[in-house]
Chain A
Amino acid sequence: MTETPASAQPGAYHPGPNQSGAYAAQPAEPEPVVVFRNVSIAFDGPPVLQDISFSVAPGETRILLGPAGVGKSVLLKLINGLLRPDSGSILLFGEEISSMREEQMFPLRIRTGVVFQEGALFDSLSVRDNVAYQLIQERVPDDEIDRRVHEALTFVELDNTFDFYPGSLSGGMKRRVAIARALIRQPELLLYDSPTGGLDPITSTTIIELVMKERDVYRTPSLLVTHRLQDAFTLCTHRFDPELGRMSPLPQGETDPNTTFMMLEEGRLIFDGSLHDLVHTDNKFVREFLE
């Protein structure tokens, strides 16, 4: 966030600094950030994911829907190599990662921001040290760290928690700190694992607004896992208004063109398309899920 150019400030709707090269050239077919090809994985039993294929394009926000226990989090962990597939191939930033060694994965993971289900903040570290974790490992000077942490915490509207410890934060605050931690190094891909799971509706809306703010301000490609339809629909039918400092609905009938949906059922990808396609699909499972 520290090196964000004016063009990437709220409301600008320009690519963030990490995608600037790709966008400036305006290639006809920009290379996808993530590509899954026939990916399957199992853990001591029936397959958790079977024959999954999809991609995430630059600037695209993909929402992965599905009931609990269907393999959504597993899919997210496959993207940055926290799990390895049994078969198929996964391309992250154009590199095949499915057979990559752990040490080779770290440079790619640094380019990816992850928000875990419960935040996964380090209990023994303060909010400042949690958010700055990567910067501390890279031995960035302390005053530079403090400045960037303040910026990241201001983005999630939690600057007053700088010296707090995770134990003294509420569930919603922990998720927001986790978002700040994921954003501090300006990732080229963001992965959200049920960021609103277990939160009350008001806090959920705050989190979704932050996801939307990140999407509309920095244009970072992202994949968001959720089983909450209202969150998914809000993301697609609203935009972040930088002047008001909050989200506002898009005109009637309009949706965000870069926000698309996927749905999993028993480890298989049964839907991949826009909100319009989703609400008009004939697939029985999707219809039941929507209703």
Chain B
Amino acid sequence: MAIGALERIAKDIVLTAQEYTLFAYRAVMNLFRPPRYWTDFLMQANIIGVGSAAIVLLSGFFTGGVLALQSAATLSEFGATAVTGRFVSLTMIRELGPVLTGIMVAGRNASSMASELGSMVVTEQIDAMRALGVDPMRKLVTPRIYSCIAMLFFLTVLADAFGIMGGGFVTVVMNHQNGTQYFSMAWEHLHFPDIIQGLLKPLVSGFIIASVGCFYGMRTTGGTEGVGRSTIDAVVFSSIIIIFADFLMTQVLLTLFPPL
């Protein structure tokens, strides 16, 4: 009995992974064949990018501030408060900027994608779209995926910048340290391997957020309750996959681009 249940769960997981892979592959490849819905790309870029800017900038700023507070307290024991800027900038750019931005955008946009597409499924709007001769994958999913990849890149750069500024604010205003020293340390110790880590991760996170959000939205069943379930699954799985992918990418990128 228990083995039967385990077998069923295992099969469900494999089937879901297979369906997700095919779904994501189709959505990505649609960009290379017409029709392409450029207006929808721009609209989604506006919703994801401009819409998420405030939460990403605020979370980046305060995370940088917290990093400065915590690190200054520890570094002062070794008389090394001067390296606060270096610590904050490296941590934000290599790790916290991409991951935090990914999780914040997942909470906001993976949920909205899943609930919007899920509602369209249960009210037959997706069927209506297909009946009107429009492929919902091309019209709804592909623009969301590419817009999310592009916008997460820029949002992460902004989050990194605001994080460093937040650290600077705490360093100068609260810790009464030298601001020039903070920013010069933050800048001078940044190297190519740090930048490449920070800029590659959001591309993967953006893909994960949109593809998982759309995947759960498009496979919604069971009316409004099903929409709620899809929304929860989209946020939970996209957040977990972002952190897991970050772990893998960090390992790979540290091997490919060892710190200088």
Residue B233, interface by CB 8 Å: no
Closest 9 CB pairs of A and B: A120-B128, A110-B133, A120-B124, A114-B131, A106-B133, A116-B124, A109-B133, A134-B132, A120-B125
Residue A117, interface by CB 8 Å: yes
List residues 45-90 of chain A with CB under 8 A from any CB of chain B. Answer: 77, 80, 82
- Closest beta carbon of chain A to B136's beta carbon, Å: 10
Distance, CA A112 to CA B132, complexed state (A): 8
Most chain A C-beta atoms within 10 Å of own C-beta, residue among B127, B130, B132, B135: B132
B133 touches A116 (CB 8 A): no
Distance, CA A121 to CA B132, complexed state (A): 12
User: Which of A82, A103, A121, A137 is the one whose CB lies under 8 Å from B127?
Assistant: A82
Residue A164, interface by CB 8 Å: no
Complex interface bits, A109-135 against B, C-beta within 8 A gives 1, otherwise 0: 110101011101111000000000110
Residue B254, interface by CB 8 Å: no
User: Which of A107, A121, A123 is the one whose CB lies under 8 Å from B133?
Assistant: A107
List residues 155-194 of chain B with CB under 8 A from any CB of chain A. Answer: none
A122 touches B128 (CB 8 A): yes
Nearest A-chain residue to B116, judged by Cβ: A124
- Closest beta carbon of chain A to B230's beta carbon, Å: 17
User: Which of B35, B131, B134 is the one whose CB lies under 8 Å from A80?
Assistant: B131
Nearest B-chain residue to A113, judged by Cβ: B131
Between A and B, 25 residue pairs with Cβ closer than 8 Å are: A82-B127, A82-B131, A103-B135, A106-B133, A106-B135, A109-B130, A109-B131, A109-B132, A109-B133, A114-B128, A116-B124, A116-B128, A116-B131, A118-B123, A118-B124, A120-B124, A120-B128, A121-B125, A121-B128, A122-B120, A122-B129, A133-B134, A134-B132, A137-B132, A181-B132
Q: Which A residues fall within an 8 A CB radius of B? A: 77, 80, 82, 102-103, 106-107, 109-110, 112, 114, 116-118, 120-123, 133-134, 137, 181
Complex interface bits, B28-66 against A, C-beta within 8 A gives 1, otherwise 0: 000000010000000000000000000000000000000
Distance, CA A134 to CA B129, complexed state (A): 9
Distance, CA A114 to CA B128, complexed state (A): 8
Distance, CA A135 to CA B70, complexed state (A): 59
Nearest A-chain residue to B133, judged by Cβ: A110
Given contacts A118-B123, A137-B133, 14 further A-B contacts (CB under 8 A): A80-B131, A106-B133, A109-B132, A109-B133, A116-B127, A116-B128, A120-B124, A120-B127, A121-B128, A122-B120, A133-B132, A134-B133, A137-B134, A181-B132
